[in-house]
Amino acid sequence: MSIDTRDRLLRAGQGARLPILLCSALLAMTTHSRAEAPAVVTTIKPLHSIAAAVMKGVGDPVILIDGAASPHGFALKPSQAYMLQGADVVFWVGPDLTPSLAKPIASMAQDAETVELMDAAGISHLGLREGAQFDTHDHDHDDEEEHAESHAHEDEDEHEHEHDEHAHADEDHEHEHADSDHEDDHSDHDDHDDDDGHGDHHDHEHGEGRDAHIWLNPDNGIAIAAAMAETLAGVDPDNADTYKANAEAFSKQIEGLEKEIAAQLKPVEGKDFIVFHDAYHHFEHHFDIEASGAITLSPEALSSADRISEIRHRIEDLGVTCVFREPQFEAKLVTVVVEGSGARIGTLDPLGTELDNGPDLYPALLKGLADGLADCLDDKS
């Protein structure tokens, strides 16, 4: 961030009496500019954590969607525009997750290097699942590294994956996709989907879609870190070696954690469970422990009586072991769903809502999901 931009933002912030946290973020960006670190804006807590790990020793990113705020239908506050206007780099998943941010990022961060991580090299994609009930499949975990597709990049060979043929459709999260221009940009992706057994996704009610919760696959987390390091090295070449070394250290950390989680979840494979909303497919698929259904289409939307009835029958028919709530949403609906059944109630959090921001959040998020699943699904618990 240039000194002129910094001063303009701070004067505007003072005039608008911006919240203390935002002013702190602007001051942090000011401090980093003096240290010649780029001003980096991230959208959600997991991305902020990965960026913090990659930028360790150089600077700290800032975050737009913090605390218990949900990315689904997120409304950008006027005061948060100052973060985007002063950004050198913006990392976000893309309009698949936060469609409401597409226009603000395009208009307010025109001078920033904007990275849509859904399209980053090495990212593994899954289609959206349909209905309240999901079909479960047996997966060969050894093939997981081949379950991916990536867009053409110069470093594609370093991250190359193939789509797993077991990826299947799921009900849309009310994630409104970007306009037709964005869809045209993904024509190459559509071709890959057809080749890899995803062609049936065209029949989805709102058009073909991809599950945007990409960070819940540990391999995707590693790919995200690599993309961030590459971007930051281009914007800030003086610290390129640091970004690369940090991304490599992050990769080794997550690879070790991945093995630990796989061993932890092995004993509960095959247990049936229901999630609050379908946010966990990337995690489930990677570790061969897939949900049997989801209570709600979107965490902000009320479930229909028919959907609740369908889930209750699902719990009864399958003898579902556990139904998971999310900490940022009212638990009453989950209580109603499990009433009269033998299912236990557990908690899963796809965003790390209750975790402290920083480089340790992302690995703690993955471990928290594993702990939540293992604790609730274990017959001995």
- Averaged pLDDT for residues 309-333: 93
Residue at 370 is within a domain: no
Does residue 273 lie within any of the structural domains?
A: no
Residue 259 lies in a domain: no
Indicate whether 355 belongs to any domain: no
What pLDDT was estimated at residue 228?
Answer: 98
Q: Which of 106-120, 214-228, 301-315 has the lowest mean pLDDT?
A: 301-315
pLDDT band at 79 (very low <50, low <70, confident <90, very high): confident
**How confident is the model over 219-252, as pLDDT tens digits?**
999 999 999 999 999 999 999 999 999 999 999 9
* Three-state secondary structure string covering the chain: CCHHHHHHHHHHHHHCCCCHHHHHHHHHHHHHHHCCCCCEEECCHHHHHHHHHHCCCCCCCEECCCCCCCCCCCCCCHHHHHHHHCCCEEEECCCCCCHHHHHHHHHHCCCCEEEEHHHCCCCCCCECECCCECCCCCCCHHHHHHECCCCCCCCHHHHCCECCCCCCCECCCCCCCCCHHHHHHCHHHHHHHHHCCCHHHHHCCCCCCECCCHHHCHHHHHHHHHHHHHHHHHHCHHHHHHHHHHHHHHHHHHHHHHHHHHHHHHHHCCCCEEEEECCCHHHHHHCCCCCCEEEECCCCCCCCHHHHHHHHHHHHHHCCCEEEECCCCCCHHHHHHHCCCCCEEEECCCCCCCCCCCCCHHHHHHHHHHHHHHHHHCCCC
Task: Give 15 or 59, the one with higher predicted confidence.
Answer: 59
User: What is the model's pLDDT at position 352?
Assistant: 96
236-242: long-range pairs with CB below 8 Å, 24+: 236/36, 236/37, 236/38, 236/58, 238/36, 239/37, 239/58, 242/56, 242/57, 242/58
Residue pair 316/298 in contact by the 8 Å Cβ criterion: no
Q: What's the total number of domains in the chain?
A: 1
Of 262-276, 287-301, 308-322, which range is least confident? 287-301
Residue 88 Cα to chain centre, angstroms: 22
Residue 284: pLDDT above 90? yes
Residue 49 has pLDDT above 90, yes or no: yes
Q: With bands split at pLDDT 50, 70 and 90, how would you rate the model's confidence at 75?
A: confident
Most confidently modeled of 5-9, 140-144, 306-310? 306-310
Identify the pLDDT of residue 285.
Answer: 97
Question: What's residue 157's pLDDT?
Answer: 43
Q: Looking at residue 54, what is its pLDDT?
A: 98
Which is more confidently placed, 160 or 286? Answer: 286
In the chain, the percentage of residues whose pLDDT exceeds 90 is 59
- Judge whether 138 lies within some domain: no
pLDDT digits (tens, 9 = 90+) for 127-163: 988 778 887 544 443 333 334 443 333 344 444 443 3
Q: Whole-model pTM?
A: 0.75
**Over 90: is that where the pLDDT of 293 sits?**
yes
pLDDT for position 303:
79
The predicted structure's pLDDT at residue 277: 92
Its domain, for residue 103, covers 3-120+221-250
Domain membership flag for residue 233? yes
Q: Residue 69 belongs to a domain with what CATH number?
A: 3.40.50.1980
- In DSSP terms, 90 is beta-bridged to 41, 114
251-263 mean pLDDT: 98
Query: pLDDT tens digits for 158-183?
Result: 444 433 433 333 434 333 333 434 33
Judged against a pLDDT cut of 80, whether residue 367 lies above it is answered with: yes
pLDDT category, 208, cuts 50, 70, 90? low
- Kindly give, in sequence order, each residue whose CB lies less than 8 Å from that of residue 232, ignoring residues fewer than 6 positions away: 38, 40, 54, 55, 89, 239, 240, 243
> CB-hemisphere CA count at 13 Å for 272?
17
> Closest by alpha carbon to 8, among 105, 85, 88?
85
